[in-house]
């Protein structure tokens, strides 16, 4: 494609049902996590031996690795919650804190910082007026259900699917098959919108779904299988509902 070429608009004419990922697609999980960790850091002098950004960075990296292990059934949910703090404490040289106490404070602070990704709520509202929609997420059931309630997501989504309840995590084809059956449409009639290339885009593509990959502004992948890559929800709306006003309400 040369510098004067216009991006090709994806063909979503066969789409009959749209599923959205939740964390870091609709809801800004990473920002809430970072702010909650700073809140935790301020409450423990032991943690203040290092900078808050260092503590948050160590936790984020450890948490990501353990989630990968959780997806592969190498650790349980309870082990994940324990190890992400124990390993972080070890990495920054703190050995005196009870992970259970810190985890409880962290989860409380985390919920206080929940917020929408910019323009995601307006986009979800508009999409739900034109298509039946659902949400499919890999989070812990007790956390994701609180988010569903806090953001009133049942107003927009017909199906709220949590991997822990289904028994399979994205990108396992079985959770995509479960979601397709719930929607009542063929895979080729389904669109999945998500931020994780491995869990959302590859998972959806491998099951015959159309996919739209949400990337934070400034990121540009060289190769991908997504039907659409977008960094602002206006782009998604223009692809799905080209004749509809797409300015945030």
Residues facing 190 on adjacent strands: 17
Residues 189 and 169 placed together within one structural domain of the fold = yes
116-162 tens-digit pLDDT: 999 999 999 999 999 999 999 998 999 999 999 999 999 999 999 99
pLDDT at 3: 37
Q: Tell me what percent of the residues of the chain surpass a pLDDT of 70.
A: 94
Calpha distance 248→103 (Å, rounded)? 36
Residues 50 and 136 placed together within one structural domain of the fold = no
> In the predicted model, what is the mean pLDDT of the chain?
92
pLDDT at 246: 46
Instruction: Determine which of 30-44, 68-82, 102-116, 210-224 has the lowest per-residue pLDDT on average.
Output: 210-224
Task: Give the residue-averaged pLDDT of 86-109.
Answer: 95
Calpha distance 135→124 (Å, rounded)? 10
pLDDT at 95: 86
Residues 214 and 101 placed together within one structural domain of the fold = no
On the CB side of 103, how many CA atoms lie within 13 Å of its CA? 16
**Is 240:42 a contact under the CB 8 Å cutoff?**
no
Task: Give the residue-averaged pLDDT of 55-71.
Answer: 94
Query: Closest Cα to residue 53, out of 69, 66, 25, 34?
Result: 34
Residues 69 and 135 placed together within one structural domain of the fold = no
191-248 tens-digit pLDDT: 999 999 999 999 999 999 999 999 987 776 767 899 999 999 999 999 999 875 544 4
**Boundary (domain end) residue, out of 57, 89, 112:** 112
Residues facing 212 on adjacent strands: 193, 228
Residues 147 and 180 placed together within one structural domain of the fold = yes
pLDDT at 222: 67
**Is 161:182 a contact under the CB 8 Å cutoff?**
yes
Residues 45 and 135 placed together within one structural domain of the fold = no
Q: pLDDT category, 4, cuts 50, 70, 90?
A: very low
**Boundary (domain end) residue, out of 112, 134, 169:** 112
pLDDT at 245: 55
Calpha distance 206→221 (Å, rounded)? 19
Residues 106 and 127 placed together within one structural domain of the fold = no
Task: Give the residue-averaged pLDDT of 95-120.
Answer: 96
| Residue 44, domain CATH | 1.10.150.240
Q: Tell me what percent of the residues of the chain surpass a pLDDT of 90.
A: 86
**Is 64:138 a contact under the CB 8 Å cutoff?**
no
State which residues form the domain around 98: 30-112
Residue with tokens 């090709």: 8
Q: How many domains does the chain have?
A: 2
Calpha distance 201→92 (Å, rounded)? 35
Calpha distance 205→141 (Å, rounded)? 25
Residue 104: count of CB within 10 angstroms of its CB: 11
**Is 204:211 a contact under the CB 8 Å cutoff?**
yes
Task: Give the residue-averaged pLDDT of 40-65.
Answer: 95
Residues facing 213 on adjacent strands: 194, 229
**Is 46:97 a contact under the CB 8 Å cutoff?**
yes
pLDDT at 8: 62
Residues 128 and 70 placed together within one structural domain of the fold = no
**Distances in whole angstroms, Cα of residue 55 to Cα of each of 97, 101, 102, 104, 133:** 14, 17, 13, 17, 38
């Amino acid at each position: 494609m040369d510098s004067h070429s216009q991006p090709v608009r994806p063909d979503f004419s066969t789409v009959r049902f749209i599923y959205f990922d939740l964390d870091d697609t609709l809801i800004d999980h990473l920002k809430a996590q970072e702010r909650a960790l700073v809140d935790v850091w301020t409450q423990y002098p032991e943690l203040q031996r290092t900078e808050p950004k260092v503590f948050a960075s160590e936790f984020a990296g450890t948490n990501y690795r353990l989630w990968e292990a959780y997806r592969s059934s190498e650790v349980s949910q309870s082990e994940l919650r324990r190890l992400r703090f124990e390993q972080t404490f070890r990495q920054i040289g703190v050995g005196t804190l009870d992970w259970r106490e810190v985890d409880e404070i962290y989860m409380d602070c985390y919920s206080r910082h929940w917020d929408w990704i910019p323009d995601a709520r307006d986009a979800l509202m508009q999409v739900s007026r034109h298509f039946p929609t659902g949400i499919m997420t890999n989070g812990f059931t007790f956390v994701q259900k609180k988010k569903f309630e806090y953001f009133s997501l049942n107003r927009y989504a017909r199906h709220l699917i949590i991997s822990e309840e289904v028994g399979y995590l994205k990108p396992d084809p079985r959770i995509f098959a479960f979601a397709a059956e719930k929607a009542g449409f063929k895979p080729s009639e389904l669109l999945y919108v998500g931020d994780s290339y491995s869990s959302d885009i590859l998972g959806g593509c491998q099951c015959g779904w159309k996919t739209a990959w949400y990337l934070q502004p400034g990121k540009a992948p060289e190769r991908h299988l997504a039907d659409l890559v977008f960094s602002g929800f206006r782009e998604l709306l223009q692809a799905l509902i080209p004749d509809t006003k797409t300015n945030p309400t």
